[in-house]
A and B are shown apart, each in its own frame.
Chain A
Amino acid sequence: MPTANTEEENSKSELQKNHGGGGGFTRWAVVAVIFRLALIYFPGNLNLSSRPEVSTPLTSIRRLAEGYWLKQSSMSPYAGSMYHGSPLLLSVLGPLTVKSLVFVLADLISSILIRATGRKLQIAYRKSLKSLNLLNKSTDSGALSSGDIAALVYLWNPFTIVACVGLSTSPVENLFTILTLYGAATGLAPLAAFGWVMATHLSLYPAILIIPVILLLGYGPDAPPSKLFRSKEHGKVGDGKSSQEIIFSWRRVFHLLVWTSLWSVYVLVLCSISVKQHGSLQEMFQRTYGFILTVEDLSPNIGVLWYFFAEVFDFFRDFFLIVFHSNILFMILPLAIRLKHRPCFLAFVYIAISSMLKSYPSVGDSALYLGLLGLFLDELADMQFSFFLFCGYVGVSLLSPVMHNLWIWRGTGNANFYYATAMAYACFQIVLVVESVSSMLNHDRKLTKLSTSKLQK
């Protein structure tokens, strides 16, 4: 059966699939947008905008409105401790009366970009498999391609919907993160640089994505380990596929760096123009990045840091701040070494880690990495504990509001109740990250095994 498939048939079926999938995607995307709009114009907006799961001090629309009000009444938007976002967001979103449409649009664009990235990844994946003569392995991947599935997962994820309807700014932040990945996957260095600069400017944590972006631009999209290609060449000399040898293209990386510096200068100039009247860039950095790094706001959220820093002894505070932030940084290098041939997956892992360990996480951050997870459906097909994780996510997202209600509104619960759900949520995220990395490495092992067994035949 595997040998029966010819190349032509393959491409034909692929085209058909894409066509059919595209229709499905459009339909579902339209329905998702309508669903969002219906929820937004629901009376009272479901009170989502003040839920701690949706709006953190960084992404809350009420704080943005307060910052805009302060700016309008000729004060620094950072006066007081209300607004901690970007001044650009303030000048774009502030004057809008219908802010919700922006977020719906951002979600839609994000899903389209995810889909395009997915298609790109899939093409690259097929290509590399073909070159290894292993294509048969994953041709039977359902009705929709992984890109479509990822985009629909992103659009229909309850977390995304809640973050969008709750009018937090995380859809915009997610959009720029996805734009970075899309730009890098398609090899457009300026676009990738723009996305990266904006995402970093908005929420700081995407700064670590510079490594996957460089790898993505240098090596191209995800592929099996380069060792395989080399060993294959050793096996079959003179196949004419020696051009498959992966070379790191320094030219694109150089482009990226140039564009990054250009865009960051541009963004900084824009920021300084918008804060010039009542403040300074230094104040802006203090109130945005400083606020993120020092965890000043201790209001409850779905992360683990707020309760920790509310309880930890004051003289240990600095120490633990360093430890927790460096936990993100520590994992960068080992992951980059081990997964350098899969930069997109590397980016997914980075995003998942940072959204788990960031100071003020919200469900919008989880929505992003869950959507990206869909991109690697084929590779992660035999991931362990997936049902357990699904149940865990559902359980936590149902229990967490209940515990919050018991603690804050009814006064019958305790802070520990809510904190326990946050711990459980963190644990599930850890299992998800570890298992996905593990199964990706296993997938590579399997490919290696297959190709070596094929070579030995």
Chain B
Amino acid sequence: MTIQIRKGKRATEPQCLGSQRSLNSEDLLFPNQTGDSKAAVYFQLSNGRFRPPPAHRLIAHHIVDTIAPIFFRVSRTMWLPLRLTLLLLFLLLSPRALLRSGSAAVVSGEEEEFHEELLLKPLPDRKVLAHFHFHSIAPPSKSNGRHHHLFPKAISQLVQKFRVKEMELSFTQGRWNYERWGGFDPISSNNAKPPGVELWAVFDVPEDQVDAYWKNLTNSLSGLFCASINFLESSTMYSAPKWSFRITPGRLRYGTLPREAVCTENLTPWLKLLPCRDKAGLAALLDRPSIYKGFYHSQRLYLTSNASVPAETVSGISLEQTLTVVLQPNSPSSSSIHSGESNFQPSWSLSSIFGRKISGKCVLAQSSIVYLQLEKSIFSEQKDNMDNGPNSLASEGFAGGSGFEMSLDPDIVIEEENQSQHKGSSVLYGFWVEKYNESQPFDLGLKWKYPVFWSSRQAPLHASRFLMGSGNERGAIAILFKSANSADSSSGSRHVSDGCELQVDVFQVVPWYIKVYYHSLQIFVDDEAKPIGDFVHKIQVSPSKDKTSPGMMEMLLKLPCDVRSAALTLEFDKGFLHIDEYPPDANQGYDIPSAVISFPSFHSVMHLLSNDSIRKSPLLSRFQEKNRVQSYTEVLLVPLTTPDFSMPYNVITITCTVFALFFGSLLNVLRRRVGEEERYLKAGKKKGWLRVLLSRLLAKLRGKPMEEPDQPSSESAPLIGKKLVLKVILVAVLAVAWQFYST
């Protein structure tokens, strides 16, 4: 409760402790208990045979495991040669496929593993990127059961219970600056996330149950990470993208909370998943004040599980936790030769950025490596400088006299294969942290000797999004693509390829109260309105339903390669909500989540010159995976009109008064009689049948002939007296009857 008050989160956030307790309790369900027992048996057999090495042969092992049930009836003598041939067959297949399936394959290893890595990278705008990468692997095995040595139990239970095949959760503060910090490298494609919380998950359940599982998952994660993820439970908050968000189809659900505040209370449970917490190893660097004062902060959790394991065993899970921060090193005004230079890259060290040093690795980690990534263009520039510059610089520095100085000697240098003419290939310096200890802490420092300039590699198009129009009734969303390399493409190098096409995937979710008119989609290429059919190759829309589901648009654009700018506009009407649906700060406005822009024909992949150490490093193998270039646009803030929250009673009473006025006055007019009609009415009334009946009855009782009721005035007094008596008798009879029947 105190946490909520401190951070000012939404009031309905669940109690973190309660949810965690329910997660840790032992009565988690394991559906599908009656699985394929044969496969499980084989699994044990093969485990007894030989221990597979952890690298590429392991994949073959995995494949054999999956195919095994088919061949199980083959005799055991036949089995070994068959296995070898399969192995060979697999090795003949492309090595790229091998790498891609690497992360999934590692899962089927024997023991739980934990790797910790840190990548440091100076950014062109005098900032430093620190990317922590923690990788935990739990192998699928029966022996482990529900017990783990290193792997976080909460996550494995989550995966088991909700049948999660793949999941990514990110908490982000700040916006990734694609123009300056790069938009093409693996870090920006994988780790640059939209502000707030983003969650997507692929489930291994039938399509009709996915929503139910998603709802349970959001509530569990909400408890686990002390965040308002449970708001994603409502069907207005999540969507099911078909093809634009991820290439691989699946039972995917996607939801974002753009306004979620991210703070230490989200980081602490995230750190709890690490075996050493933040007590030892690289995570010890995470000094809260220094990482939260940065420009960008994104903590991310990505897990995959090989769901196709037999039910007896616990499925293997690979958990990848990354923390990406962009920090500004507080540079002491550079005391070197170029002290007057304002664009001098600041020198920094780990202790100056984080205020801490690394005192050795986390003892439970298999590997603990710190990488420093530098752009190759620095070196080329250096060479130019060397040609005409003073020779004194050559004697200093590390890599053949570069303009910088590292305080420690790297243990390994990895270069990126310069496979294309694209600039932006880089050099990685690796440092083994295990060599350092308490007495000799690891404190990497980087010192620049003279100003260097470089630019990060950009995605082919830079996407931004903005709102158009004014007022609170309607508006338009515009997505603007600008060619990132407009300067060099204008030279004409690309004009040669005339049929060249640039594919752009747009995935946009819009909340239901932004009522988008999809027919108003317009496309402007190079500032000219063009027919949609020329560029929109494929479009899929699921329009929003009021209070039920958000609107989702998936679009595949094919733009010519030499396009300078392209813009999409969509008009919308702003909806009006019920008074209860407005949040407490209704006048702040509403967020439209980021659109996801991806370029299917571009892949952010680092081709590192192969080395044995690369294989071991999950971070580098992740970098070598082929992922498409992806970027997120800005979150839009839409102000909505508000009603007067203070006077529901007034509105109800005044409206009802008007209705009463209508009803009353119209009925009054209809039944009003004037003048002669009044008299007719009175005359008519006197001849009411009850009265006639009564007078006849009276006449009979008296034994007199019935008299005309024309002159009732003369006899009115005695008549009334008798009537009164009659009435009293009637009431008395009724009362007696009531008494009689009610008892």
- Give A residues with C-beta under 8 Å from B: 50, 52, 62, 65-66, 68-70, 73, 75, 79-82, 296-300, 304, 306-314, 323-324, 327, 330-331, 334-335, 338, 356-357, 407-409, 411, 414-416, 419, 423, 426-427, 430, 433-434, 437-438, 441, 445, 449
**Chain B's interface: helix, strand, loop or mixed, by majority?**
mixed
Residue numbers in B under 8 Å from A66 (CB-CB): 517-519, 543
Residue numbers in B under 8 Å from A308 (CB-CB): 651-652, 655
Q: Please report the C-alpha to C-alpha distance between residue A441 and residue B669 in the assembled complex, in whole angstroms.
A: 9
Jot down 9 A-B pairs with beta carbons below 8 A, ordered by A.
A298-B575, A298-B576, A298-B578, A308-B652, A311-B652, A313-B648, A423-B658, A437-B666, A445-B675
Q: Please report the C-alpha to C-alpha distance between residue A433 and residue B665 in the assembled complex, in whole angstroms.
A: 10
- Inter-chain contact B473/A423, CB cutoff 8 Å: no
- Inter-chain contact A81/B545, CB cutoff 8 Å: yes
Q: Using A308-B655, A313-B648, A441-B670 as known contacts, list a sample of 18 further A-B pairs with CB atoms less than 8 Å apart, ordered by residue number in A.
A: A68-B519, A75-B541, A80-B551, A81-B545, A307-B655, A311-B579, A311-B651, A312-B652, A338-B670, A407-B641, A408-B472, A415-B643, A415-B644, A423-B655, A430-B665, A433-B666, A434-B666, A438-B672
Q: Map CB proximity to A onto B517-555 as digits: 1 under 8 Å, 0 otherwise.
A: 111100000000000000000010111111100010000
- Inter-chain contact B473/A408, CB cutoff 8 Å: yes
- Inter-chain contact B578/A314, CB cutoff 8 Å: yes
B407: interface (CB < 8 Å): no
- Inter-chain contact B658/A50, CB cutoff 8 Å: no
Residue numbers in B under 8 Å from A297 (CB-CB): 546, 576
Q: Please report the C-alpha to C-alpha distance between residue A282 and residue B580 in the assembled complex, in whole angstroms.
A: 30
Contact of B643 among A50, A311, A335 (CB under 8 A): A311
Known: A310-B643, A438-B669. A409 touches B545 (CB 8 A): no
Known: A80-B545, A81-B544, A311-B652. A50 touches B659 (CB 8 A): no
How far, in Å, is A220 (CB) from chain B's closest CB?
A: 23
**Total residue contacts A-B, CB cutoff 8 A:** 143
How far, in Å, is A412 (CB) from chain B's closest CB?
A: 12
Known: A69-B518, A69-B519, A314-B578. A81 touches B670 (CB 8 A): no
Known: A70-B543, A304-B655. A409 touches B471 (CB 8 A): yes
- Inter-chain contact B644/A50, CB cutoff 8 Å: no
The contact size tier of chain B is 35 or more
How far, in Å, is B238 (CB) from chain A's closest CB?
A: 17
Q: Please report the C-alpha to C-alpha distance between residue A70 and residue B655 in the assembled complex, in whole angstroms.
A: 37
Most buried by A among B579, B667, B672: B579
- Inter-chain contact A327/B641, CB cutoff 8 Å: no
B545 (CB) vs chain A CBs: closest residue: A81
Q: Please report the C-alpha to C-alpha distance between residue A437 and residue B669 in the assembled complex, in whole angstroms.
A: 7
B57: interface (CB < 8 Å): no
Residue numbers in A under 8 Å from B518 (CB-CB): 66, 69-70
Q: Please report the C-alpha to C-alpha distance between residue A438 and residue B670 in the assembled complex, in whole angstroms.
A: 7
Contact of A304 among B520, B579, B658 (CB under 8 A): B658
- Inter-chain contact A314/B659, CB cutoff 8 Å: no
Residue numbers in A under 8 Å from B728 (CB-CB): none
Known: A79-B543, A80-B545, A298-B577. A330 touches B551 (CB 8 A): no
Q: Please report the C-alpha to C-alpha distance between residue A430 and residue B667 in the assembled complex, in whole angstroms.
A: 12
- Inter-chain contact B652/A309, CB cutoff 8 Å: no
Contact of B651 among A307, A330, A334 (CB under 8 A): A307
B437: interface (CB < 8 Å): no
Residue numbers in A under 8 Å from B743 (CB-CB): none
- Inter-chain contact A416/B647, CB cutoff 8 Å: yes
Q: Please report the C-alpha to C-alpha distance between residue A338 and residue B666 in the assembled complex, in whole angstroms.
A: 12
How far, in Å, is B374 (CB) from chain A's closest CB?
A: 50
How far, in Å, is B508 (CB) from chain A's closest CB?
A: 15
Contact of A415 among B470, B580, B641 (CB under 8 A): B641
Q: Please report the C-alpha to C-alpha distance between residue A445 and residue B677 in the assembled complex, in whole angstroms.
A: 9
- Inter-chain contact B472/A411, CB cutoff 8 Å: yes
- Inter-chain contact B658/A82, CB cutoff 8 Å: no
Known: A65-B519, A69-B519, A411-B472. A309 touches B644 (CB 8 A): no
How far, in Å, is A229 (CB) from chain B's closest CB?
A: 17
B740: interface (CB < 8 Å): no
Contact of A306 among B471, B544, B576 (CB under 8 A): B576
Q: Please report the C-alpha to C-alpha distance between residue A423 and residue B652 in the assembled complex, in whole angstroms.
A: 12
B675 (CB) vs chain A CBs: closest residue: A445
How far, in Å, is A76 (CB) from chain B's closest CB?
A: 10
- Inter-chain contact A80/B643, CB cutoff 8 Å: no
Residue numbers in A under 8 Å from B644 (CB-CB): 311, 414-416
Q: Please report the C-alpha to C-alpha distance between residue A300 and residue B576 in the assembled complex, in whole angstroms.
A: 8
How far, in Å, is B133 (CB) from chain A's closest CB?
A: 42
- Inter-chain contact A331/B648, CB cutoff 8 Å: no
- Inter-chain contact B648/A311, CB cutoff 8 Å: yes
B474: interface (CB < 8 Å): yes
- Give B residues with C-beta under 8 Å from A: 470-474, 512, 515, 517-520, 539, 541-547, 551, 573, 575-580, 641-644, 647-648, 651-652, 654-655, 658-659, 661-663, 665-667, 669-672, 674-677
How far, in Å, is A227 (CB) from chain B's closest CB?
A: 11
- Inter-chain contact A331/B643, CB cutoff 8 Å: no
- Inter-chain contact A430/B674, CB cutoff 8 Å: no
A313 (CB) vs chain B CBs: closest residue: B648
Residue numbers in A under 8 Å from B541 (CB-CB): 70, 73, 75
B551 (CB) vs chain A CBs: closest residue: A80
How far, in Å, is A382 (CB) from chain B's closest CB?
A: 14
Residue numbers in A under 8 Å from B675 (CB-CB): 445
- Inter-chain contact A409/B655, CB cutoff 8 Å: no
A317 (CB) vs chain B CBs: closest residue: B578
How far, in Å, is A389 (CB) from chain B's closest CB?
A: 14
- Inter-chain contact A327/B662, CB cutoff 8 Å: yes
- Inter-chain contact B651/A419, CB cutoff 8 Å: yes
- Inter-chain contact A50/B666, CB cutoff 8 Å: no
Residue numbers in A under 8 Å from B669 (CB-CB): 434, 437-438, 441
Most buried by A among B546, B576, B669: B669
- Inter-chain contact B579/A330, CB cutoff 8 Å: no
Q: Please report the C-alpha to C-alpha distance between residue A50 and residue B573 in the assembled complex, in whole angstroms.
A: 10
B579 (CB) vs chain A CBs: closest residue: A311
Known: A73-B541, A300-B576. A327 touches B648 (CB 8 A): no
Contact of A426 among B544, B641, B658, B663 (CB under 8 A): B658
- Inter-chain contact A331/B543, CB cutoff 8 Å: no
Contact of A310 among B543, B576, B663 (CB under 8 A): B576
Residue numbers in B under 8 Å from A68 (CB-CB): 519
Residue numbers in B under 8 Å from A414 (CB-CB): 644
Residue numbers in A under 8 Å from B672 (CB-CB): 438, 441
Known: A299-B576, A311-B643, A423-B658. A334 touches B519 (CB 8 A): no
- Inter-chain contact A430/B658, CB cutoff 8 Å: yes
How far, in Å, is A396 (CB) from chain B's closest CB?
A: 14
- Inter-chain contact B663/A309, CB cutoff 8 Å: no
How far, in Å, is B70 (CB) from chain A's closest CB?
A: 41
Residue numbers in B under 8 Å from A313 (CB-CB): 648
- Inter-chain contact A427/B643, CB cutoff 8 Å: no
Contact of B658 among A300, A312, A335, A427 (CB under 8 A): A427
- Inter-chain contact B517/A82, CB cutoff 8 Å: yes
Q: Please report the C-alpha to C-alpha distance between residue A407 and residue B641 in the assembled complex, in whole angstroms.
A: 8
Residue numbers in A under 8 Å from B659 (CB-CB): 323-324, 327
B654 (CB) vs chain A CBs: closest residue: A423
Contact of A409 among B473, B551, B666 (CB under 8 A): B473
Residue numbers in B under 8 Å from A331 (CB-CB): 663, 666-667
A314 (CB) vs chain B CBs: closest residue: B580
Most buried by A among B648, B658, B665: B658
Residue numbers in A under 8 Å from B520 (CB-CB): 62
Q: Please report the C-alpha to C-alpha distance between residue A24 and residue B542 in the assembled complex, in whole angstroms.
A: 54
- Inter-chain contact B578/A310, CB cutoff 8 Å: yes
Residue numbers in A under 8 Å from B545 (CB-CB): 80-81
B580 (CB) vs chain A CBs: closest residue: A314
Most buried by A among B518, B551, B671: B518
Residue numbers in A under 8 Å from B674 (CB-CB): 445
Residue numbers in B under 8 Å from A334 (CB-CB): 666-667, 670-671
Residue numbers in B under 8 Å from A81 (CB-CB): 512, 515, 543-546
Q: Please report the C-alpha to C-alpha distance between residue A153 and residue B667 in the assembled complex, in whole angstroms.
A: 29
- Inter-chain contact B578/A309, CB cutoff 8 Å: yes
